[in-house]
């Protein structure tokens, strides 16, 4: 009967088999982006008057014990202990030195068991016992050893215990606060792009993960969009000249109506939810339709970059997170997955990209993929050395001769390299496209670069980058040429 019943349960492996009783109380879990959660666990405990030791089972297995705080009315903390000396067979044998154990031997032929009482003398790389008046080393698998008791202080799992000094006995709520690792969350966005209408529908999901080893039932859950305690990163990145992606990324300044915690937005999950161990949970937080969006093409060439085969331009999707004409919300960091309907109306995936925490009012330009039909072939047509009529002062010094001081200044002409570039942009699509072409590497710390000729009027995006908006006719090509005079 039991086997049959076991088979039934195995066959289902359903969600509600043998409800385990958890020692957790009323739970509130606040999850941050960076592998961190604050857990508040209010349990009702009956405390005896005077000094008592209380164990807290079912705390997170990845608890940071140094962050534990406990509050209970009429009780003061004497000490907090986190015992992580785990019970294991070799520790059991270690702690049994000097004690009496039972050795059970089995006759291999008959299967008959004989029991003997033995005193453990030592356990140093081998267990030495005294049985009656004999002393022997216990072989690895020669006998079963039965211990009379488990040693104190060794635990099955790491255990948090608090010793309290209580003024009056009785039942009361005890609140335990601690930080735990093993949690995280991010946003996942689903964007359905309608190219003809120039609109996107966006759904935002919060994806939270619990790998803490512990399930938290019926918890009030709050998600904080930010990584706390990581502000000590260096500013090393600002030493590099920035290469930027497609234009159209601008941080916003609008304020979302969402609740805030300091500098961070918080996203509460409605109602109570169970965050199971090894679970990935998604909760919707954003659902907007018909937001204007536009597709564009982007290509950035490195300094002296050249290609023997044309390479695809990036396809860039631009939209706004503003209240007016945008998603109208602050966007927590995550991944935007973009879909488009195919000829039969079925949504197909066309690419994804990550976004950072984005304030409301920002505009975004995200690369979704590379265009099959819009390509660029950059070519270094010519490099030549030119001398200009300009002079630069290279050194200046004074000479004092018999009390007379004269000044010597040495000038020399500036030498430039003139680089002639061509960018052949081809478009095999049946529509005219506009491609944002960027040439980078124009500054190189010299701050002395000129553009004497260009076939299309460009603009200097920064000292390092020049950008052209190139219109390419349907099934056609446009060649952009530009010359750069640089000191290198």
Partner 1 sequence: MFNSRQVLRRLSTGVACAAIILSTASPAATPVVISPAPDNVAVTIYRAPNRSLGGAMDTDWLEGYALITEKRTIDLPAGPATIRFEGVAGGMLPESSIARGLPAGIREKNLDADLLSPGNLYARSLGRPVIVRRQHAKSGKTTEERGIIRSGPEGSVLLQTREGFEAANCGPLNETLVYSRLPEGLSARPTLSIETEAPSAAKVTISLSYLAWGFDWQANYVVRMREGGKRADLAAWVTLASSDPMSFVDADTAVVGGEVNREDDDPYDGGRAEELSFHCFFTPVSVPALAMAAPSDGIGEIVVTAMKRAELKVDAPVMVTAEGLGDLKLYHVPVRTTVASNAQKQVAMFEKRNIKVAIVYTADVYDGGPANVRLTLRTQNKKEDGLGIALPAGPFAVFEPLRNEQMLIGEGGIRDSAIGQQVEAVIAAPTQVRVQGNDITASEDVKRGRWRDFELSVSNANRWPITFEGDLHVNDDEKVERTSARMIQKNGRPLWKAQVPANSIATLRYRVTQIEAE
- Residue numbers 260-299 binding partner 1 by CB under 8 A: 269-271, 273, 276-284, 295
Identified binder of partner 1 from the candidate list 288, 350, 456, 469, rule CB under 8 A: 350
Shortest Cβ 4–partner 1 spacing (Å): 9
Q: Which is nearer to partner 1, 105 or 255 (CB)?
A: 105
Structure tokens at 192: 């359905």
Q: In this structure, are residues 240 and 50 in contact, taking their beta carbons and an 8 Å threshold?
A: no
Q: Which is nearer to partner 1, 61 or 469 (CB)?
A: 61
* Burial class of residue 359 in the structure, from the number of CB atoms within 10 Å of its CB (0-12 exposed, 13-18 middle, 19+ buried): middle
Phi, psi of 71, deg, nearest 5: -135, 130
Q: Which is nearer to partner 1, 78 or 113 (CB)?
A: 113
Shortest Cβ 129–partner 1 spacing (Å): 12
Shortest Cβ 412–partner 1 spacing (Å): 12
Stretch that binds partner 1, among 39-47, 203-211, 396-404, 464-472 (CB under 8 A): 203-211
Q: Which is nearer to partner 1, 69 or 284 (CB)?
A: 284
Q: In this structure, are residues 174 and 55 in contact, taking their beta carbons and an 8 Å threshold?
A: no
Does position 304 interact with partner 1 (CB under 8 A)? The reply is yes
Does position 100 interact with partner 1 (CB under 8 A)? The reply is no
Shortest Cβ 225–partner 1 spacing (Å): 17
The greatest distance separating any two alpha carbons of the chain, rounded to the nearest whole angstrom, comes to: 121
Identified binder of partner 1 from the candidate list 153, 242, 348, 432, rule CB under 8 A: 348
Identified binder of partner 1 from the candidate list 126, 170, 251, 292, rule CB under 8 A: 126
Q: In this structure, are residues 203 and 193 in contact, taking their beta carbons and an 8 Å threshold?
A: no
CA 233 to chain centre: 15
DSSP state of 155: B
Give me Rg for the CA atoms of the chain: 36
Site for partner 1 in 155-194 (CB under 8 A): 155-157, 188, 190, 193
Site for partner 1 in 379-438 (CB under 8 A): 379-387, 415, 422, 426, 428-429
How are beta strands 260-261 and 216-225 bridged, if at all?
unpaired
Structure tokens at 180: 């735990």
Q: Which is nearer to partner 1, 228 or 276 (CB)?
A: 276
Does position 117 interact with partner 1 (CB under 8 A)? The reply is no
Shortest Cβ 268–partner 1 spacing (Å): 13
Structure tokens at 195: 């190219």
Shortest Cβ 488–partner 1 spacing (Å): 11
Q: Nearest 10 degrees: CA dihedral of 365, 369, 375, 379?
A: 80
Identified binder of partner 1 from the candidate list 74, 147, 303, 479, rule CB under 8 A: 147
Shortest Cβ 141–partner 1 spacing (Å): 5
CB neighbour list of residue 193: distance below 8 Å, 6 or more residues apart: 199, 200, 293, 295, 317, 338, 339, 340, 350
* Residues making up the chain, counted from first to last: 488
CA atoms within 13 A on the CB side of 267: 25
Stretch that binds partner 1, among 137-145, 160-168, 323-331, 439-447 (CB under 8 A): 137-145
Q: Which is nearer to partner 1, 177 or 379 (CB)?
A: 379
Shortest Cβ 158–partner 1 spacing (Å): 8
Structure tokens at 208: 């939270």
Phi, psi of 3, deg, nearest 5: -60, -40
Stretch that binds partner 1, among 75-83, 253-261, 363-371, 397-405 (CB under 8 A): 363-371
CA distance 172 to 45: 6
Site for partner 1 in 74-93 (CB under 8 A): 86-93
DSSP string, 60-116: -TTB-GGG-EEEETTEEEEEEEEE--B--HHHHHHHTTTSEEEEEEE-TTT--EEEE
Identified binder of partner 1 from the candidate list 24, 33, 60, 315, rule CB under 8 A: 315
Shortest Cβ 221–partner 1 spacing (Å): 10
Shortest Cβ 467–partner 1 spacing (Å): 20
CA distance 24 to 58: 6
CA 76 to chain centre: 39
Does position 6 interact with partner 1 (CB under 8 A)? The reply is yes
Does position 106 interact with partner 1 (CB under 8 A)? The reply is yes
Of 350, 327, 326, residue with least CA distance to 338: 350
CA distance 479 to 423: 6
Structure tokens at 30: 């606040």
Identified binder of partner 1 from the candidate list 51, 53, 64, 144, rule CB under 8 A: 144
Site for partner 1 in 204-233 (CB under 8 A): 205, 207, 215, 218
Shortest Cβ 406–partner 1 spacing (Å): 31
Site for partner 1 in 466-485 (CB under 8 A): 475, 477
| Total number of residues that touch partner 1 (CB under 8 A) | 122
């Amino acid at each position: 009967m039991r086997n049959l019943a076991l088979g039934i349960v195995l066959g289902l492996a359903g969600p509600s088999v043998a409800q385990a009783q958890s020692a957790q109380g009323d739970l509130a879990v606040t999850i941050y982006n960076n592998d961190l959660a604050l857990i508040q666990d209010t349990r009702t405990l009956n405390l005896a008057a005077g000094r008592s030791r209380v164990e807290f089972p079912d705390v997170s297995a990845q608890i940071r014990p140094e962050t534990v705080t406990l509050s209970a009315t009429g009780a003061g903390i004497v000490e907090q202990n986190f015992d992580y000396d785990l019970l294991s067979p070799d520790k059991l044998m270690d702690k049994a030195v000097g004690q009496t154990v039972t050795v059970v031997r089995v006759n291999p032929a008959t299967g008959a068991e004989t029991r003997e009482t033995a005193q453990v003398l030592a356990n140093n790389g081998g267990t030495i016992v005294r049985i009656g008046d004999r002393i022997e080393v216990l072989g690895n698998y020669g006998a079963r050893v039965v211990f009379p008791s488990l040693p104190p202080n060794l635990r099955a799992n790491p255990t948090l215990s608090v010793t309290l000094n209580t003024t009056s006995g009785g039942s009361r709520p005890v609140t335990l606060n601690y930080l735990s690792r093993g949690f995280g969350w991010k946003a996942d966005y689903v964007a359905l792009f309608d190219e003809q209408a120039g609109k996107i529908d966006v759904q935002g999901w919060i994806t939270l993960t619990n790998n803490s080893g512990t399930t938290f039932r019926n918890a009030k859950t709050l998600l904080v969009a930010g990584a706390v305690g990581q502000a000590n990163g260096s500013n090393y990145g600002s030493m590099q000249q920035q290469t930027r992606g497609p234009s159209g990324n601008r941080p916003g300044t609008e304020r979302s109506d969402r609740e805030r915690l300091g500098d961070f937005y918080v996203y509460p999950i409605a109602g109570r939810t169970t965050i199971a161990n090894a679970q990935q949970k998604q909760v919707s937080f954003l659902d907007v339709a018909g937001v204007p969006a536009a597709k564009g093409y982007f290509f950035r060439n490195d300094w002296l970059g050249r290609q023997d085969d044309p390479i695809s331009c990036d396809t860039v999707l631009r939209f706004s997170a503003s209240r007016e004409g945008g998603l109208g919300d602050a966007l927590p960091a995550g991944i935007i997955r973009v879909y488009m309907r195919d000829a039969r109306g079925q949504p197909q995936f066309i690419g994804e990209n990550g976004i950072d925490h984005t304030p409301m009012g920002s505009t975004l330009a995200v690369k979704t993929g590379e265009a099959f039909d819009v390509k660029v072939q950059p070519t270094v047509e010519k490099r030549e050395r030119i001398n200009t009529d300009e002079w630069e002062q290279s050194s200046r010094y004074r000479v004092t001769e018999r009390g007379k001081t004269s000044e010597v200044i040495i000038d020399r002409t500036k030498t430039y390299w003139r680089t002639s570039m061509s960018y052949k942009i081809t478009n095999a699509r049946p529509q005219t496209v506009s491609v944002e072409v960027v040439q980078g590497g124009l500054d190189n710390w010299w701050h002395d670069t000129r553009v004497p000729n260009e076939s299309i009027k460009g603009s200097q995006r920064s000292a390092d980058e020049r950008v052209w908006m190139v219109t390419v006719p349907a099934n056609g090509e446009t060649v952009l040429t530009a010359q750069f005079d640089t000191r290198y």
